[in-house]
Chain A
């Protein structure tokens, strides 16, 4: 009886953190282990399109903190916020976090009209496939948590720092992080001078983690389905041969197909990567025509069965592309 009461009491005290996407929820759980963290989309959902159900609305209605990716990815979140009737978590309020604030955005269009049928007018929002960006996301979430729960702000900052260290060690290897420090390594990686610097200092062999495991991906020709991978591509140096999807929502033309087939044979593309929520029918046809292997890559945490957290998520992408 007392236990039940204590349980209810602690549940009531715990912060309700509602995230739009699984990777955000995974990060929020690490920054605030004691909060009730939920993700509105599942890893198997297409993050662009989610039908707002009353159940999702109820989650947002009782949220203390609402965390979204932003950058025009969740086209459904605004409607959800409108109907949830929770003024505390609307954009501009304390309970709202745009997790990608401060992330250097790629592919920002020069002119904002959607003439080319692009889904994303604010640049490419699929930022979470670059582990470096996760450090910014963790900071943003910690800041938001500190706003709605100031008494624990220091704890959140501390947890975010621990998580960022874990990301550094997963990306560069614990040995190199211990030697050079995660901040410097991140800065070099962000500037694109990590490889040359390591070579100059004769430290290349000490590089570990994802960058070492993914080293064979450098320059490897890969065909992707949707343009949701520029951040991963930039970090790991994958060579993009082309995209199966010409423009989102418009059937690819014969010219596009022939061009893609030509590029694939010219550059020897041996892998076609399809995000788990995309249809693999056309990629399979391309694979049959060229002998390339069609692999499913998780689009988010929980996208494939092995990707249970952010670390196994990146593991899964690298393993699929190798």
Chain B
């Protein structure tokens, strides 16, 4: 359970902070201001990365904060145009423009990490929260919280009763800037820990539930905190094997649904009928889900449009390249006749043939040679050894043939001691030495190709049957 401690503590700090701001944001009708401010903070970090700073350096933090404060000032100023343009429209525009600017900045920076860095600014994962993250989060939110505690009356007045504040001669614009700036500061540290979707849920859903059921600012604040804490603990607790952030958000959704149903039942003039309606709706939903679950799924019919290439197999010709041993010599003979597997024209409709390479080809031919046992197979082998290009494959073929008493195996070995590759000469020489015993010529295969020593020995055993059954296949 100890793994839960840091995430739950982080959630608690977030709940306490965003519960308060959520009430304000709902009242002001600027639901998406958190998304916009988070995006603007990310833009500040991206700018820092563009200038060559690391995304988690102090310089990047200062720039993110500076961008956030600038955005906060702009949002506060936007309240002036409230009559012509809703503030929410300007906030949406700020979100879109700062997101686009961030992408362009990364494009110009040609920074490969950039995309992921920007993404990470908005996709934090609460499971990975570290003690230092928590400390920074608590310090930042604590400072913002103290500020709001000290001036709680003023902040409440400008959010809930702006007309009254103006009538009293308060400097509403200045307090607005302070509100958005402190909100943005808290957000900048929260988003890096939790990600932007979680922030949005924490900000809006507890406040909505509180407004549905409780009156009065203090009551709503406490209700929002309790809902937030309850959902957080439950979400973190069940999420050990599931992604934590998404689980918490879905739990918030369920909590809201329950709150809505309770509110619906309470508001309804006839609770009995309302309960029936709720049950009917629930039954319909569950039934629909069950139906969709029971319907046979089409796995390959639709959805994956990106895979139109008809290439489930990567092998141009399975007979040539698949590694398991081919059953007989027929495959080897075929392979020997068409060693490259290349044709000039692409097959109609399919992908053009690739080149079957020397690599799997030779392996298949060697495997076929090793598997040759019947007289027919051995006859085929004695044919294909004449055309085999790869000397090390020829070496294997030669021994197989020799063991079966085929004279062509000996001929092949006699040419292999003249091969370019020292290894092949060594192997062929060692095999011939086993056949020749004490009558083997003195010759060093490492010094160079044989110039006739073994050929001279071969003439002495012309017509003599050779006992090669004991020969070991290399």
Interface positions of A (Cβ within 8 A of B): 42, 44-46, 49, 70-72, 75, 78, 91-94, 96-98, 100-105, 111-114, 121-123, 132, 135-136, 139-140, 142-144, 147, 150, 178-181, 183-184, 186-187, 190-191, 201, 250-255, 257-258, 276-282, 285, 288, 303
Contact = CB atoms under 8 A, between A and B. Distances in A.
A142 B308 contact: no
Contacts of A97: 352, 354
B239 A136 contact: no
B241 A144 contact: no
B376 interface: no
B447 interface: no
Given A92-B346, A183-B390, A257-B127, A279 B323 contact: no
A129 to B, nearest CB: 17
B235 to A, nearest CB: 12
Contacts of B7: 254
By DSSP majority rule, is chain B's interface helix, strand, loop, or mixed? loop
Contact of B127 (A75, A103, A251): A251
Interface residues on B, range: 35 or more
Interface in B287-327: 299-300, 304, 306-309, 311-312, 314-316, 321, 323
Contacts, number: 185
Contacts of B268: none
Interface stretch (B408-416, B420-428, B449-457): B420-428
Given A143-B355, A253-B241, A280-B113, 12 more contacts: A46-B112, A46-B116, A96-B351, A147-B352, A180-B392, A186-B359, A187-B359, A251-B123, A252-B128, A254-B3, A276-B113, A282-B128
B130 interface: yes
B354 A140 contact: yes
22 contacts: A92-B350, A92-B351, A98-B354, A102-B357, A112-B312, A140-B355, A143-B353, A180-B424, A181-B392, A186-B359, A187-B359, A251-B127, A252-B127, A253-B239, A253-B244, A254-B127, A255-B240, A257-B127, A276-B112, A279-B120, A282-B125, A288-B130
B117 interface: yes
Contacts of B304: 114, 121
B363 A139 contact: no
B338 to A, nearest CB: 14
B356 A102 contact: yes
B359 A136 contact: yes
Given A101-B354, A102-B316, A70 B116 contact: no
A85 B348 CA distance: 20
B112 A102 contact: no
B314 A71 contact: yes
A302 B88 CA distance: 45
A277 B358 contact: no
A253 B127 contact: yes
Contacts of B316: 101-102
B245 A279 contact: no
B269 interface: no
B5 to A, nearest CB: 11
Nearest to A79: B306
B359 A183 contact: yes
Most chain A CB within 10 A, of B116, B323, B355, B363, is at B355
